[in-house]
Amino acid sequence: MIPIIVASILFFDQLTKFLATKLLPLNAPVSIIDKFFYLTLVRNKGAAFGILKDQVVFFILVTLAAIAIIALSLKGKDKPRLYKIALGFMLAGAIGNLIDRVFFGYVIDFLDFRVWPVFNIADSFVTIGAVIFGYFTLFKKQ
């Protein structure tokens, strides 16, 4: 089940990034819901909020380490299904952004709510997975 989730998220992430690069002008917002939601193609050469700009090799190495840790964490059979789904979300998001960094040297972002930095589908799934993972870590008995 987890491989299907990861593959589906990766496909959707890469498809939307491909479409964004083909259909959107670089750094020029396209209003979808005026004053609320825009599509703005940006090339993020840093991490969240653009920090540590131009540290591509560092981000690739950190992401590979995170992928290894997540993959090892998925091995246990005694983990709840939602816990594994959370890890699958984070894994897919990490791989999606890793693909960008390896092939382009930056991450393709395009979802723009104006109150938050521009992000992408992979970022969304990393965040959702991290929230679910945090819930299990903090509130569920082992």
Q: What percentage of the chain exceeds 90 in pLDDT?
A: 77
Render each residue's pLDDT in the chain as its tens digit; 142 residues. 899 999 999 999 999 999 999 999 999 999 999 999 999 999 998 776 666 676 788 889 999 999 999 999 998 778 889 999 999 999 999 999 999 999 999 999 999 999 999 999 999 999 999 999 999 888 876 5
Residue-wise pLDDT for 55-80, tens only, equals: 788 889 999 999 999 999 998 778 88
The overall pTM is greater than 0.75: yes
Q: Please give the residue range of the domain that contains residue 49.
A: 2-30+38-137
Is 113 inside a domain boundary?
yes
Contact 7, 22 (CB under 8 A): no
| Distances, alpha carbon 83 to alpha carbons 2, 22, 39, 80, 97, in Å | 11, 36, 32, 5, 22
Query: CB-based contacts of 5: which residues, under 8 Å, 6+ apart?
Result: 85, 88, 89, 92
Whether residue 12 lies inside any domain: the answer is yes
Is 56 inside a domain boundary?
yes
> Percent of the chain at pLDDT above 70?
94
Q: Is residue 142 situated within a structural domain?
A: no
| Length of the chain, in residues | 142
In the chain, the number of structural domains is: 1
Report d(CA 44, CA 41) in Å as an integer: 10
Asked if residue 49 belongs to a domain, the reply is yes
Task: Give the chain's largest Cα–Cα span.
Answer: 49
Q: 3-state SS of 21-65?
A: HHHCCECCCEEEECCCEEEEEEEECCCHHHCCCCCHHHHHHHHHH
Active-site annotation, residues: 109, 123
Pair 111, 120: CB distance under 8 Å: yes
